[in-house]
Structure 1
Amino acid sequence: MKKLSEKLGSIFAGLEAFLIQFPKTVIVLLLITCGFSLHYTFHNLGINTDTTEILSKKLPFLQDRARFLETFPQDEEAILVVVDAETPERAAQAVAYLGGRFRRETEGVESVYAPGEGAFFDHHGLLYLDLETLNELAANLIEAQPFIGALSSDNTLKSFLAILGLALTAEDRELPVDLNPLLKNVGHVTEGLLDDRDILLSWQQLMLSDEQDLLSTKRFILLKPVLDYTELIPSEKALQSVRAIVADAKSALPDVSIRLTGEVVLEHDELESVQRSAQIASFFSMILVCTALFIGLRSVKLVLITFTVLLMGLVLTAGFATVAVGHLNLISVSFAVLYIGIGVDYTIQLSLRYQEFLQQQVPQQQALIQAVRKVGPSIMLCAVTTAVGFFSFVPTAYTGVSELGVIAGGGMFIALVVSVTVLPALLQLFPLKSGGKLSQSTFPDWVYEIPMRHHLRIKWMALALTLAGLGLLTQVRFDFNPLNLRDPKSESVATFLELLETKQTSPMTLTILADNELEALDKARQLSRLPSVESALTIFDFIPEDQEVKLDTIHELALLMGFRFATFPPLQQDNIDNHLTALTQFKNHIEQHLQDHPVSELSGNLLRLRHALESFLLQLQSKSLPEQESMLNRLQNNLLGTLPDTMNLLLQVLDADIVTLESLPKDLSERWLSKDGIFRIQVFPSKNLGDHENLKQFVAEVRGIAPNATDLPVIYIESGNAVVKAFQQALVGALVAITFVLLLVNRSIKDTFLILLPLLMTAILTAASTVVMDNPFNFANIIVIPLLFGLGVDSGIYIMNRLRSMPDEQRSVLQTSTARGVIFSSLTTLCSLVSMAFTPHLGLASMGLLLSIGLLLMIVCTTLVLPACAHKRAN
């Protein structure tokens, strides 16, 4: 190795002696090259932010997903609009309003689908009730025919309260609902007005059981946005349009909650969060990096030169990325971080060795040549081993990291070339002062002697920590749930997590494709019996059961009701006197009922209602006539405003007919039965899939019956498995390749082991720290591994080469510029990324934390453990 290093050193020195004679020419040529690279990159480098393409499409689970999306393309990249209202009537109004606006937004929205909404369900809604509920409703409506008839001719508060008062006193039930719930709701509405709140009485909820899905106050709209993957944030324009419509809807319907979630919104919000976090981190990183470089190099001029060299290398690496790959993905976009982290290492080692020679009174030009002679072979070996490590990621199925491996591996050779050409050329043009006293002893001498004096203790401690770390490796886990990387306070994440909590609204479902009806029904039956499955739906579940019996009931109800109106009349305006008279008389009816029946099932609600009416009438007395009129009209609207919509809906469903597969609406049927006759089975979980174990159980049980099941739960788990497998393969391959290169160069197993020692210990202890600090590996922080791999190998090479070349084996390597270079290079990288640990984006925060731990461990392993383990060899 020594002879090879001397030969390489002579080659580097001869090349440097030639180049520094023409420093301006070297810089101009490199600047021209950078200009061409920048121009070519600007016009040709694309950005692919499609997260589905960061893994190889040849993976079986992605092929299953591709088949599903090819068969049912409506489900690809959807925005989920969640509408919450106090009543089902208000929710339906909001969905109708939003649906109309979204359908007119053709530039940002490709398609709109509102499950369970529209003319079809308005017409056939009663058929989806179970037979018992339908019969109960029919009986209630027939009994309430006089009530409906009276309000259809006089739809006012006076008429309503008169009927209600008669029901109390005459005990003649002519209402479409139980009296007790109605009285409770009337009291609730009246109390709301006392607090200046408008609470609408829902006649749908009163007439039907509130457990029916048709009466849900939570409704959904699925939007397929127009995405542009050439943009950094593909959904930006579409979401701007959607959010503008939502903002208008919130103004028009202030009592309705409208939220956006779904994969498109989650990824968009995450990218925005990453950008904000990166901006925060970049600001503090720049300050910390400049500070670290200044402390390490102790020269403003050298810091500026270092930044110039790094910037030129980055530009050239970007050009290489454009030629070699053609685009950046969400993983490979981090090549700049890797380049700076490792590339700065080369410039720092050269700069500090150059300063060391100047301190020894070596002439300026000779100092440059000698610095390149001594450091050149080491950084060349570092570039080769680090590049080999990165190239080991290329064959893996993790396309995102595979492309990063190509770019970062090529970038290492670019960093080498730029460091040994541009850096010396700039120092030749802007030399430092010779002979400046650069103290290498910041601490007392005994501090630098620690690795030698206490080498046995350090070895035993290192062995103990490594064994403990190996023990903890059995508990290392990979968090495959990307929701855990996102800001839990953002609307999209909070809404998604809320939907996961209930069986009926969970967006984490699984999809199975069946080639025929028999297969679809058979698999649905098998899946429905699984403990982790709440239900398994097919298109046949949209064909109501017992249709003939239900239609007989509905048609009989229509005849008995004998409606003489095409539409139920809207609320009629009335005067203040009639309103006040009606309220006073109704209060008297309540008092009479309480007097006649002091203890009855109605007493509790009647007492509360009487108190609310007394407070309401008292409050009216203190207001002006216009204010009284407004308040009374609000009471009438809040009590009867939803009745016309409910009755009009009833008029439609009384004209229902047989539902068949052919009569199902197109936007529904095409999501369950493809044009090629492929049936879709959608499987809903019985547990909250926000829990890791529930998710694994759900996927495992369903795939036990249907191995080709797909959708988000499978994507999450299998993506995590693919990433872990890819990194395991790559790291083993990288370690084998690096070991082979080191053995080839060093021709010594012991030297190769000592060089790899910091890397191995850092890797083991960093992985163990994820268990101790409950900061598991995830899609974000796993990128730390290749960075630590590169830095760990480089640091070991620098320290071992310096130890091998030191004339006095007893002299501490920690007092050399090489050790200072290793420490300050690592600290510079640490400073460039540590601020991420304090950002709101949980993924970046976990990356910053893990990287900080890894770099600190690497410094300790390189500067203490390696010299201690090499001590016997030195003797």
Structure 2
Amino acid sequence: MLKGFAEASEKRPRLTIALVGLVTIFMIYGATQVSMTSEMEEFLPQDYTSVKVTNEIENEVGATVNEMILIEGDNLTTANAFQSIIELQVGLENNPKLQNYIARVQAYPDYLLNKIENYENLTNAELEARIQQLLAQSEISSQTSFLLSDNRDATLVTILVNSQLPTDQLHDQTKDLHDYTQSFDENHENLRMSNTGMLSMELETRGMMSRDNSILIPAAIIVIILILYLAFRRLSDTGLPFLVLGLGAVWMIGVMGLAGIPFTMVYVALVPIILGVGIDYTIHMLNRYYEERGRKLSAGKSAVKSVKTVGIAISLTAITTMIGFGSFGVSDMPPIREFGFLAAAGVFFIFVLATTLLPSLLTIRDRNRRKKKKRKEKRGKDRVGKTLSKIELGTHHHKAPILIGAGVITALCVISATGLTTTMSFDTFLPQDVESVATMQEVEDYFGGQNTAYVLVEGEVTSSEGLTLIHSLENSVKTDSRSEGLITDSSSLTGLILYSTGGTMPENTSQLELVLDNLENNYPERMKRLLIEDNKAVVYFSIQAETDKEMEKASEIIRSHMENYSLLGSGLDFEMEGEPAVGGSPVIISDIMGSIMPSMRNSILLAILLVGILLAIVFRSIIMGLIGALPVMLALSWEFGALGGLGWSLDVMNMMVSALAIGIGVDFTIHVTHRFQEEWKKNGKSPRKAISTTIQSVGRAILAAAATTIGVFIVLSLSRMPPVARFGQLAAMVIFFALVGALVVLPSALLAHAKWKER
């Protein structure tokens, strides 16, 4: 097949370009069909019970999206502060710009007002005395603890947002909320107010990312252009790789649209990964093309020879890289499965373009040009050549120390990696210099993490027995010794009934029905959230968790109590499909983190195994397969050692870098091994001369590819978004590790193996 590609690029280059153009037009159509989404459902495995419970509840009452206004002051329980908070609540509820946006506003005065008669007619001294009297009661103090700090110098106004509104409208009205808060703050000198919440943080971080991208993307392009120009000293040689990569990206996005895969923020990582893999293909093709041109071959013959030689190595790297990304298909997570599919498709497209379009363009460009006398650089005399010569001498004279040293470093990294944790603090994913993020940190310092878990209860939920049992479940969860400071509050139909009746449960059915009717009239929004159907009720638990491990612990506590209550044989059902019917973001995150890390680990191990098997088949030797997989295993081992040394935890972004390490490492490995085999076995050179030729030829292309990709990731590491910055830092390190493995360790291993074979 490659032979046919090669001949087409020489004999019918314009036809090849025309065919690429037709495919591109079709893929552009596909790209126009791509939809963007930030909906959480797109990220979730729909077969998880926690996801099913969450979807059922949110389909009935809408997602629980809370915005918060943090109010700080010397004492927020004074009469003036109390009245200002009520004024803020009323102003928010009656603001015409926030109509349909606000479902409910909650603040600590809500728990006091029904116990203070005619508070408007009281003097400030009388009102303040009554406030202090009520807050001194343990029950009210407990109820307001998640809204009023212990020192009473901070309070929260929580705003339940109508999450069923379109995303653009949510963002616009969140801006209106910020404007109203700022205006209110300016008119109340004794209070300091700031906004936070998921919508606020999303709004502000998106704006910051847009500003970063407007600088970082052009900077990355400039870095690539400079490195490619330094490598080839020709402007068109910087443009051709961009053309191949750009078309490959368009084709990949076209497949995304044609396959109906919505674009999410997860797929932003596809761009640098495809860039890192794809730039390698084009640089190797250009490098071999100029090598053949230096041997007085015509443009067409040079292009053909490039495809027939380097094209084979590129095809092997493409296959192994596609296998590596394809192994992501074993994941439970839809985005990771689709990420693997799209990355594999992108690699395939760039391979096709690098072995068809690029040779055709080179043939047309240089067909009528005479070969220039010589390039200014002379191998062995320029700086790159001198560096490669030193590497060459090192692999020959010090191969044993190199291999032993690599083994020792790997052993130390493995030991360091044993201390890695998978605990994720979600604060590390957000930029701390954004106001809403900084405010959220303050909220967590005052009140702990703000998360909600849902419990779905079915059956006779409005009977006295059912309500009593639900109340018992709430208390058992909150009083569990493991939940101290973790599960802080709960909300249920029983709690609302007790609140409305002063703490007593109605004695008979008729009284209970009367209370429920009154609640429907007075608190319709709350009733809608607590009683979603006549036989379905929801219990909400407030969870103060900052890491996935804390969320996992809270989820285990709730589930264990639900399992106990399920065994009572009452008229209530606490299960869905045989599992505790609990959902909400902390439970889903706990479940996902419990499966995503093993899933990605298995994917990476499977990828390494498949790569080793394929290399063994290609080179017809198990030992060569193991040697070929060496740079990949070294890069991964050193990556995990670096994580341990830096004190970073193992998370999803790090595992994405591991996928990059496999893709880049395999590319470098196959090019070095394939060229060594060609020079040693096919051209009959001695192992030392074969290694010398390999390092001086392929080494240049690998250095250029590595420098380009590392440069891009260093630029990304300047991002103000912590996950992007860390991704860039770690990716640059891992590519450097793969480079060292491919140009230093692998040649030493190949040379040692070849000399052993010749004995």
Indicate the TM-score class for this superposition, using the shorter chain for normalisation: 0.7 to 0.9
Q: Give the secondary-structure state (helix, strand or coil) at the position aligned to 2:291.
A: helix
> Equivalents in 1 of 2:266, 2:259: separation in Å?
16
Q: Give the secondary-structure state (helix, strand or coil) at the position aligned to 1:384.
A: helix
Cα pair distance change 1:227/1:746, threshold 3 Å:
farther
Structure-1 residue corresponding to 2:508? none
Count the aligned residue pairs. 682
1:712-736 deviations in Å (ceiling 9; x for gaps):
3223332222321221232233233
Q: CA deviation at 1:696?
A: 4.5
Structure-1 residue corresponding to 2:13? 23
Structure-1 residue corresponding to 2:518? 663
Contact 1:41–1:318 (Cα < 8 Å) also in 2: yes
**Residue 42 of structure 2, aligned match among 18, 41, 53:** 53
Q: CA deviation at 1:869?
A: 0.9
Q: Give the secondary-structure state (helix, strand or coil) at the position aligned to 1:801.
A: helix
Contact 1:26–1:421 (Cα < 8 Å) also in 2: yes
Q: CA deviation at 1:84?
A: 5.1
Q: CA deviation at 1:67?
A: 3.3
Structure-1 residue corresponding to 2:201? 266
**Does 1:471 pair with 2:461?**
no
Q: Give unpaired runs (5+ residues) of structure 2.
A: 149-154, 462-466, 505-512, 563-579
Q: CA deviation at 1:91?
A: 0.9
**Residue 290 of structure 2, aligned match among 341, 344, 355:** 355
**Does 1:689 pair with 2:567?**
no
Counterpart of 2:320, as a letter, is T
Q: CA deviation at 1:766?
A: 0.6
Larger radius of gyration: 1
Contact 1:510–1:709 (Cα < 8 Å) also in 2: yes
Q: CA deviation at 1:302?
A: 0.9
**Residue 215 of structure 2, aligned match among 258, 277, 280:** 280
**Does 1:115 pair with 2:106?**
yes
Contact 1:78–1:224 (Cα < 8 Å) also in 2: no
Cα pair distance change 1:316/1:434, threshold 3 Å:
farther
Contact 2:424–2:549 (Cα < 8 Å) also in 1: no
Structure-2 residue corresponding to 1:680? 538
Q: CA deviation at 1:420?
A: 1.2
Cα pair distance change 1:249/1:225, threshold 3 Å:
farther
**Does 1:221 pair with 2:176?**
no
> Equivalents in 1 of 2:406, 2:712: separation in Å?
28
Structure-2 residue corresponding to 1:600? none
**Residue 513 of structure 1, aligned match among 456, 459, 471:** 456
Q: CA deviation at 1:252?
A: 5.2
Contact 2:424–2:649 (Cα < 8 Å) also in 1: no
> Equivalents in 2 of 1:784, 1:65: separation in Å?
31
Structure-2 residue corresponding to 1:766? 639
Cα pair distance change 1:416/1:80, threshold 3 Å:
same
Counterpart of 2:64, as a letter, is E
Cα pair distance change 1:176/1:274, threshold 3 Å:
closer
**Residue 85 of structure 2, aligned match among 91, 105, 108:** 91
> Equivalents in 2 of 1:850, 1:350: separation in Å?
28
Counterpart of 1:355, as a letter, is Y
Structure-1 residue corresponding to 2:576? none
Contact 1:762–1:858 (Cα < 8 Å) also in 2: yes
Structure-1 residue corresponding to 2:318? 383
- Range with bigger deviation, 25-34 or 304-313: 25-34
Cα pair distance change 1:245/1:84, threshold 3 Å:
same
Q: Give the secondary-structure state (helix, strand or coil) at the position aligned to 1:259.
A: strand
1:591-602, aligned counterparts within 5 Å?
A: none
Cα pair distance change 1:257/1:176, threshold 3 Å:
closer
Structure-2 residue corresponding to 1:539? 493
Q: CA deviation at 1:335?
A: 2.5
Cα pair distance change 1:813/1:702, threshold 3 Å:
farther
Cα pair distance change 1:821/1:545, threshold 3 Å:
closer
Q: Give unpaired runs (5+ residues) of structure 1.
A: 1-10, 128-137, 142-147, 161-174, 178-201, 551-657
The structure, 1 or 2, with the larger RCO (C-alpha pairs under 8 Å, 6+ apart) is 1
Structure-2 residue corresponding to 1:569? none
**Residue 817 of structure 1, aligned match among 691, 697, 702:** 697
1:596-629 deviations in Å (ceiling 9; x for gaps):
xxxxxxxxxxxxxxxxxxxxxxxxxxxxxxxxxx
Q: CA deviation at 1:383?
A: 1.1
Counterpart of 2:596, as a letter, is V
Q: CA deviation at 1:537?
A: 4.0
Q: CA deviation at 1:659?
A: 10
Cα pair distance change 1:126/1:279, threshold 3 Å:
same
Q: CA deviation at 1:796?
A: 0.8
Structure-1 residue corresponding to 2:507? none
> Equivalents in 1 of 2:234, 2:503: separation in Å?
91
Counterpart of 1:734, as a letter, is A
Contact 2:675–2:694 (Cα < 8 Å) also in 1: no
Counterpart of 1:540, as a letter, is T
1:183-198, aligned counterparts within 5 Å?
A: none
Q: TM-score, normalised by structure 2?
A: 0.82
Q: TM-score, normalised by structure 1?
A: 0.72
> Equivalents in 1 of 2:352, 2:232: separation in Å?
21
**Does 1:529 pair with 2:479?**
yes
1:683-704 deviations in Å (ceiling 9; x for gaps):
345xx53366654543333333
1:319-372 deviations in Å (ceiling 9; x for gaps):
222223442222224323222211111111010011112223333322221111
Q: Give the secondary-structure state (helix, strand or coil) at the position aligned to 2:194.
A: strand
Contact 2:9–2:303 (Cα < 8 Å) also in 1: no
1:139-184 deviations in Å (ceiling 9; x for gaps):
xx9xxxxxx9xx99xx9xxxx9xxxxxxxxxxxxxx849xxxxxxx
Cα pair distance change 1:518/1:122, threshold 3 Å:
closer
1:141-152, aligned counterparts within 5 Å?
A: none
Give the alignment's Cα RMSD to 1 decimal. 3.2
Structure-2 residue corresponding to 1:599? none
**Residue 306 of structure 1, aligned match among 241, 255, 263:** 241
1:409-457 deviations in Å (ceiling 9; x for gaps):
1122211111111111111122274452342323163442111211100
> Equivalents in 1 of 2:112, 2:434: separation in Å?
35
Structure-2 residue corresponding to 1:698? 554
Contact 1:510–1:710 (Cα < 8 Å) also in 2: yes
Q: Give the secondary-structure state (helix, strand or coil) at the position aligned to 1:46.
A: coil
**Does 1:866 pair with 2:721?**
no
Structure-2 residue corresponding to 1:63? 52
> Equivalents in 1 of 2:5, 2:498: separation in Å?
85
- Range with bigger deviation, 269-278 or 411-420: 269-278
> Equivalents in 1 of 2:361, 2:619: separation in Å?
33
**Does 1:439 pair with 2:378?**
yes
Cα pair distance change 1:358/1:680, threshold 3 Å:
same
1:230-259 deviations in Å (ceiling 9; x for gaps):
x7xx84334334334444444555654443
Q: CA deviation at 1:41?
A: 1.4
- Range with bigger deviation, 255-264 or 291-300: 255-264
Q: CA deviation at 1:486?
A: 0.4
Structure-2 residue corresponding to 1:838? 718
Structure-2 residue corresponding to 1:194? none
Counterpart of 1:668, as a letter, is R
Q: Give the secondary-structure state (helix, strand or coil) at the position aligned to 1:810.
A: helix
